[in-house]
Structure 1
Amino acid sequence: MDLIAQRSAPILDAMRELRKRRIVPFDVPGHKRGRGNPELLDFLGEKCVGIDVNSMKMLDNLGHPISVIREAEDLLADAFGANHAFLMVGGTTSAVQAMIFTNIREGEEVLLPRNVHKSVINALVLCGGIPVYVPVQVNPKIGIATGMELEEVRKAMDAHPDAKAILVNNPTYYGIASDLKGIVELAHARGIKVLADEAHGTHLYFGENLPISGMAAGADMAAVSMHKSGGSLTQSSVLLTGPNIDPEYVRQIINLTQTTSASYLLMVSLDISRRNLALHGRESFGKVFGMAEYARSEINEIGGYYAYGRELVNGKDVYDFDVTKLSVYTQGIGLTGIEVYDLLRDEYDIQIEFGDIGNILAYISIGDRLQDIERLVGAMEDIKERYGKDSTDLYCGDFISPELVVNPKEAFYADKVQLPLQESIGRICAEIVMCYPPGIPILTPGERITPEIVEYIEFSRERGCSLQGTMDPECRKLNVIR
């Protein structure tokens, strides 16, 4: 990394120059630096609304960058160790989908774990690709899917020699990492591209004692959520490519779906955040590492909770663990993760990342303080004392991996009928069903609905999970192939 070059921020400099010039706007957006919408100006402030502008010569154009945006992308690539980098303003969803669209065409296979984000499945619905699921194990103590074991990846590649790519969560939402470098070696020996979903892995590029990053492992493409652990604004993201990917073709793919009215607020936040991480990331994430380990130790001292960490690593399905993820199993105090999530928000004014059937995740990043960690630990201790109960009646949290019968595109666009949950058993699902967050599908288009899946959906609803993706807002009915 060129640390001297990394001190610059070309988009930020261009935005500052724009402010100085006091240009009279006869272009969009129509609020004209906020003058046309005083309430918006009052709420967000002139500094923010004043740089909500359209593409112009001095600011470059995201769809075809030739000046400051191109320079910002080059700096991103240097900071992340990639051959090329793209600013993404549609979230990491758009970056993940660009990876799929670049490598998978109608009828072609992609290998992936079942616990992928819904953006992957949605991309396959659009492009007509065929998912081939690599079996994943379930940790019986905490009820979550782990990573892809190298031997299972090998078997899947042997069984599907024509697969074009493999997608790897690096890490999972809970912090579990597969042997990415080993997967890259296996895949490249067979001409298979490796796509890393690093929605939760920005810090892997800048921290120490963490799982290997996608680019360092030799992945062909990586989708990185800068806004999650990297400090940029929500919805801003980065797409990275390696030496075997044509960046100009990727640009064409991105431009198929990305807005032509890219937000300069998002782009300048990426530019500033990249500079901050390149210059101070190692120090910042060292502090994050320390806070997470402290919180993990304190929570485990409470009893009942289980804040898990590197002790899960076995060199196989848990090849490594991202210790900055404060993932906590809650059923030991008789409460589901979603119940603890709700209590923290409603009773203690603490907003954590998510709660599921068995776990919560408190996202710790460069913006956290030690006193915030102590407040969280104190609230969790209080919840145990006030709300804890017997855990014998709680769901065990088995990971359900449905049978894929029809490819997702065919199922999604098929003639369908809506049936009550119980009546849908045995039919083929024609839509996505998921708990959000984390956004991992319970069912995807083309999968067979079983009694166990229906039971899991109903249990999730009873416990307060937000069920999404279905045409029925309450998820009491499912669309199935007629």
Structure 2
Amino acid sequence: MKGSRFKLNQNHAPIHEALETFRRMRVVPFDVPGHKRGRGNPELTEFLGQKCVGVDVNSMKPLDNLCHPVSVIREAEELAADAFGAAHAFLMVGGTTSSVQTMVLTACKRGDEIILPRNVHRSVLNALVLCGAIPVYVNPEVDQRLGISLGMQREQVAKAIKEHPKAVAVLVNNPTYYGICSDLRAIVKMAHEAGMMCLVDEAHGTHFYFGGGLPVSAMEAGADMASVSMHKSGGSLTQSSLLLTGPDVHAGYVRQIINLTQTTSGSYLLMSSLDISRRNLAQRGRQIFHQVADMAEYAREEINAIGGYYAFGKELVNGNSVFDFDITKLSVHTLDIGLAGIEVYDILRDEYDIQIEFGDIGNILAYLSIGDRAQEVERLVSALAEIRRRFQTDGTGLLSQEYIDPQVVTSPQDAFYADKCSLPLRETEGMVCSEFVMCYPPGIPILAPGERITAEILDYIEYAKAKGCNMTGPEDPDILKLNVLTGR
């Protein structure tokens, strides 16, 4: 790729090529998986196709081993690192959840403090449950009109670092689900000057590495580690992800951390999809994401012209809590037509056969990426116009808040494993929660283990349930009860 920024031959896809060679060899399988290239499960083969099940294979010498790669997987990881500008890249088959947890477990041990915004994905807090680290929250500013949490303000991060000089890391969302970006370069600089690592949850920022005019990527900003959801905007299969590390991170130790929790039977379907998708982005990513950004900007203009909706964009940028905005994110505020975002989400699916990424209390997100076409964007815009005409109502009584400041009483690990009891929802006010409660997506906890349950939080949970949000987390699937700490 003459004249490109890449040092390696990005036209190469070593895992994919090794699987194609293996397919042609017609090896007799006396190993797992037990379906034996699909012969033992004809219904599965018919559903997925022979080409797919034929390469659903186990680790073997010609195909390398994800736990300790020395050949084709190692080469695929080197190509990924080169494509993303990282010192090292790890292929992850447990989703970006496993990437995020690896970052936290690499940086933190029991009792260590980690500075982070509270509007993190549950995978971050799950990692704190596992390792026993203590969260130091930089509570984000909230956009009062949109009801969404914004980025980390520089002065708030600096204050947290000053007040917690023994913290081991700062974790940043880049971007948030809604496309909001913090001043990542400044935060990295502050963390490093304080001797702390900077970890970046970049689940929704794969395209930052391949698009012109988009916010800075974690590796470009000098972050130590970044979790990248290739299956979101990068085009790989669901559950496949990358973990990127900078030059000052010990790759061997990171591999040990990964192997604590990641499967020893890595899916070659997932790994080959990462390999092929990385090649696709290296070859065509800049052109593709330019087109995606253009589609999103067009959709924003058209939706705002309908009236009643607010498809927000770079006008939110204020140089601090909204340092930058990901223009590929098509986030739309719906409350001004009298409908919660989740209600618009349901109408789009049930009435118009349009599945968007999520709806929350006040907003919807239509996820645009490499597979979208202009005609589908037009269909979405037309449907939103019809929804306003058919379903607009008085919005009196609608809630808008997406983020409620937590009252942290104890660490997530201590709360999760403490003695607990189950009480009816309204009887838990004032008590300390020992489990998660969240709307999924986006998977940002309303309550996390160790946090005080307030009347405001209970109102929010009941409202979200009534509006049809997909509520997850508690042991009680109906969320009529919550587990709380006894004696607190």
- The bucket for the TM-score relative to the shorter chain is over 0.9
Instruction: Name the counterpart of 1:458.
Output: 462
Instruction: Name the counterpart of 2:440.
Output: 436
Instruction: Name the counterpart of 1:281.
Output: 285
1:306-455 matches, cutoff 5 A: 306-397=310-401, 399-455=403-459
Distance 1:435 1:474 in 2: 13
Q: Confirm or deny: 8 A CA contact 2:14 2:75 kept in the other structure.
A: yes
Instruction: Name the counterpart of 1:83.
Output: 87
Q: Give the TM-score normalised by the residue count of structure 2.
A: 0.98
Distance 1:218 1:413 in 2: 36
User: What SS does structure 1 have at the residue aligned with 2:10?
Assistant: helix
Instruction: Name the counterpart of 1:210.
Output: 214
User: What SS does structure 1 have at the residue aligned with 2:446?
Assistant: strand
1:34-53 matches, cutoff 5 A: 34-53=38-57
Instruction: Name the counterpart of 1:7.
Output: 11
Q: Match for 1:322: what amino acid?
A: D
1:254 aligned to 2:258?
A: yes
Distance 1:216 1:456 in 2: 38
Distance 2:357 2:139 in 1: 27
User: What SS does structure 2 have at the residue aligned with 1:5?
Assistant: coil
Q: Match for 2:207: what amino acid?
A: H
Q: Confirm or deny: 8 A CA contact 1:3 1:278 kept in the other structure.
A: no
From 29, 35, 39, the counterpart of 1:25 = 29
Q: Match for 2:437: what amino acid?
A: V
Q: Confirm or deny: 8 A CA contact 1:417 1:481 kept in the other structure.
A: yes
1:117 aligned to 2:117?
A: no
Instruction: Name the counterpart of 2:294.
Output: 290
Equivalent pairs, count: 482
User: What SS does structure 2 have at the residue aligned with 1:351?
Assistant: coil
Distance 1:85 1:47 in 2: 28
Superposed displacement of residue 396, structure 1: 2.9
User: What SS does structure 1 have at the residue aligned with 2:198?
Assistant: strand
Distance 1:434 1:152 in 2: 25
Distance 2:108 2:320 in 1: 28
Q: Confirm or deny: 8 A CA contact 1:3 1:279 kept in the other structure.
A: no
Superposed displacement of residue 401, structure 1: 1.3
Instruction: Extract structure 1 runs of 4+ deviating beyond 6 A.
Output: none
Instruction: Name the counterpart of 1:132.
Output: 136
Deviation track 1:49-79 (CA, whole Å, cap 9, x = no partner) reads 1000000111000000000000000000000
Distance 1:355 1:46 in 2: 37
Distance 1:467 1:336 in 2: 15
Distance 1:218 1:433 in 2: 34
Instruction: Name the counterpart of 2:231.
Output: 227
Distance 1:465 1:198 in 2: 25
Deviation track 1:378-419 (CA, whole Å, cap 9, x = no partner) reads 001111111111112211325201110011100000010001
Q: Confirm or deny: 8 A CA contact 2:11 2:283 kept in the other structure.
A: yes
Distance 1:399 1:71 in 2: 43
User: What SS does structure 2 have at the residue aligned with 1:297?
Assistant: helix
Deviation track 1:168-213 (CA, whole Å, cap 9, x = no partner) reads 0000000000000000011100101000000000000000111100
Distance 2:429 2:212 in 1: 48
Distance 2:212 2:478 in 1: 44
Specify every segment of 5 or more residues in structure 2 that has no aligned partner in the other structure, as ranges: none
Distance 1:87 1:116 in 2: 22
Q: Confirm or deny: 8 A CA contact 2:147 2:403 kept in the other structure.
A: yes
User: What SS does structure 2 have at the residue aligned with 1:380?
Assistant: helix
Q: Match for 2:122: what amino acid?
A: K
Deviation track 1:457-479 (CA, whole Å, cap 9, x = no partner) reads 00000100111100010111110
Distance 1:393 1:423 in 2: 24
1:57 aligned to 2:58?
A: no
Distance 1:428 1:192 in 2: 30
Q: Confirm or deny: 8 A CA contact 1:140 1:398 kept in the other structure.
A: no
User: What SS does structure 1 have at the residue aligned with 2:162?
Assistant: helix
Distance 2:412 2:239 in 1: 26
1:159-170 matches, cutoff 5 A: 159-170=163-174
Distance 1:163 1:209 in 2: 34
1:173 aligned to 2:214?
A: no
Superposed displacement of residue 90, structure 1: 0.2
Q: Give the TM-score normalised by the residue count of structure 1.
A: 0.99
Q: Confirm or deny: 8 A CA contact 2:8 2:79 kept in the other structure.
A: no
Distance 1:435 1:398 in 2: 10
Q: Match for 2:77: what amino acid?
A: E
User: What SS does structure 2 have at the residue aligned with 1:429?
Assistant: coil
Superposed CA RMSD: 0.7
User: What SS does structure 2 have at the residue aligned with 1:449?
Assistant: coil
Distance 2:90 2:181 in 1: 24
